[in-house]
Amino acid sequence: MKELLRTTDPTIVAFAMALLQGEGIDCFEMDVNMSVLEGGIGIFPRRILVHADDIERAERVMKDNDIPLGRP
């Protein structure tokens, strides 16, 4: 698995995952339960991981929909 996207905006995470699933790209959301530690204020970014074989196609889907990847 490789990191595709990193953001603190849960709406971007939901939209990105819907797009990926619509394209048949398996994805996994990491750091979902960090809100327990942060108190729900959204300071810790959530990440979306995809299979290494799908990373280029997934990046293209994000770029085509103007979703910033937000990763280093």
pLDDT, one tens digit per residue, over 18-57 is 999 999 999 999 987 776 666 666 678 889 999 999 999 9
Number of continuous H segments (helices) and E segments (strands) in the chain: 3, 3
The pTM (predicted TM-score) of the whole model is: 0.83
CA angle 5, 61, 7 (to 5 degrees): 20
Q: Which residues 6+ apart lie within 8 Å of 38 measured at CB?
A: 44
